[in-house]
Amino acid sequence: DIPDDPEGEIKDCFVIVTPEKNYILHSDSRRKKIDWMQSIAIGVSQCLRYRHSYRPHSWSNLDDLQQWLDIREVSYTFITHSDYSGAKYSGKWSLGMPHFKGKLKWPSGDHYDGEFLHGHFHGSGTRLWLEHQHQRSYTGSWQNGIM
């Protein structure tokens, strides 16, 4: 958590959001915050093997950098998530969670193919699962993870 700041002096914090844990970093100036975010974005892009050319001055403001960081295509296996533990996800990702269109597949064979909103089944989608040795399915509209 960000420490209590009754006088409003803590500035230039940013959060690194991962699917199962968030990290809060604090820098002592806005420029250093941008430098940190840019370095992290470059590191992530190198890990993901993007072939774009990134120049330090290309992200002179947080809006440009944030737009690049917001939405991407990923594959991820959840480890400790309360609902998705063990599931493999592939699809669109935003702010550390499934967002827009994607697929989840659990080791049991259960799966979901459809739309997500902030990490929840939301919109149209199909969910298949095994219940009492019988295959069950639902295709239709979802609202915040609920059929």
Tens-digit pLDDT profile for residues 113-133: 999 988 999 999 999 998 888
Which of 7-21, 41-55, 71-85 shows the highest mean pLDDT?
A: 71-85
Q: How confident is the prediction for the chain on average, in pLDDT?
A: 79
Read off the pLDDT of each residue in 105-119 and give the average, rounded to a whole number: 93
Name the H helices within 5-124.
Answer: 30-47, 62-70
44 close to 122: Cβ distance less than 8 angstroms:
no
Q: What is the pLDDT of residue 68?
A: 56
Q: What is the pLDDT of residue 5?
A: 56
**What's this model's pTM, rounded to 2 decimal places?**
0.59
